[in-house]
């Protein structure tokens, strides 16, 4: 049984739950989506999605619940969106707990005040995707093992290192399951 967990500490959890449920219908595996609120639930997961929200708050709760250690020690693949991207980073421009899953430096709220929220068609994985950016971060620098998936103007907005994926925007606020399916394929590589 393939289990995808949606971290449920703070943020856009129900939207990710719904789109992941929809994405999993395109796979033949016996699968389920669960909400992850503690380390025991995290331990059951083959992959975990970290939603948008407030990364400082989520980071502190990851430490308090011990879910951070489960993700790191059990090498559970993570798909981080927006605040989830911040938390996947090795470094940010703000002092906060991080998971250090992807060798990158992330700038929070990178798109400036007047453009705090916007939608823009972006290119990722060879197709167009409706990028919804809400006080979005961007990647300033990446290590040599990090693969860049997408850029918007001069900013890096999608990356992958090993089985971990991080993007600046919110696919869970669209009906488009392709990025969730891309993550599920990464998770399947680890379990098969
Ligand atoms: N700016 C927020 C943070 O750094 C992220 C915003 C979001 O997830 N929509 O935590």
Task: Report the pLDDT averaged over residues 113-142.
Answer: 93
pLDDT at 192: 73
Confidence (pTM) = 0.97
CB 101 within 8 A of CB 84: no
Task: Report the pLDDT averaged over residues 165-174.
Answer: 98
In angstroms, the Cα distances linking 12 to 5, 17, 50, 84 are 13, 9, 9, 11
Task: Quote ipTM for the complex.
Answer: 0.93
Residue among 110, 132, 134 to mutate when testing ligand 1 (max atoms within 8 A of CB)? 134
pLDDT at 114 over 70: no
More confident residue, 115 or 59: 59
pLDDT at 72: 98
Model confidence at 36, pLDDT cuts 50, 70, 90, reads: very high
List the domain range (segments joined by +) for residue 186.
2-191
pLDDT at 172: 97
Task: Report the pLDDT averaged over residues 128-134.
Answer: 97
pLDDT at 20 over 80: yes
pLDDT at 109 over 90: yes
Active site residues: 82, 170, 172
In angstroms, the Cα distances linking 165 to 18, 30, 110 are 19, 23, 19
Task: Report the pLDDT averaged over residues 142-160.
Answer: 97
52 in contact with ligand 1, CB cutoff 6 A = yes
Looking at every residue in the chain, the average pLDDT score rounds to 96
pLDDT at 161: 98
Task: Report the pLDDT averaged over residues 134-148.
Answer: 97
pLDDT at 29 over 80: no
CATH number at residue 172: 3.40.50.880
Number of domains in the chain: 1
Residue 31 among known ligand-binding residues = no
Task: Report the pLDDT averaged over residues 2-12.
Answer: 95
pLDDT at 185 over 90: yes
Maximum C-alpha span of the chain? 46
How far apart CA 26 and CA 161 sit, in angstroms, is 24
CB 169 within 8 A of CB 151: no
Atom of ligand 1 nearest to the CA of 56: 10
10 in contact with ligand 1, CB cutoff 6 A = no
Residue 4 among known ligand-binding residues = no
pLDDT at 113 over 90: no
DSSP 146: P
């Amino acid at each position: 049984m393939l289990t995808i967990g949606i971290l449920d500490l703070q943020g856009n959890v129900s939207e990710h739950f719904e789109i992941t449920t929809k994405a999993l219908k395109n796979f033949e595996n016996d699968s389920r989506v669960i909400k992850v609120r503690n380390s025991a639930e995290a331990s059951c997961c083959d992959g975990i999605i970290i939603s948008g929200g407030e990364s400082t708050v989520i980071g502190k709760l990851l430490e308090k619940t011990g879910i951070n250690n489960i993700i790191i020690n059990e090498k559970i693949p993570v798909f981080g969106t927006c605040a989830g991207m911040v938390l996947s980073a090795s470094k940010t421009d703000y002092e906060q707990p991080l998971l250090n899953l992807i060798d990158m430096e992330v700038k929070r709220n990178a798109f400036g005040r007047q453009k705090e929220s916007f939608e823009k068609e972006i290119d990722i994985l060879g197709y167009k995707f409706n990028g919804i950016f809400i006080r979005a971060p961007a990647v300033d620098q990446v290590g040599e093992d990090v693969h860049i998936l997408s850029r918007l103007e001069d900013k890096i907005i999608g990356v992958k290192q090993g089985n971990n994926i991080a993007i600046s925007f919110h696919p869970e606020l669209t009906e488009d399951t392709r990025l969730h399916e891309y993550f599920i394929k990464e998770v399947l590589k680890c379990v098969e």
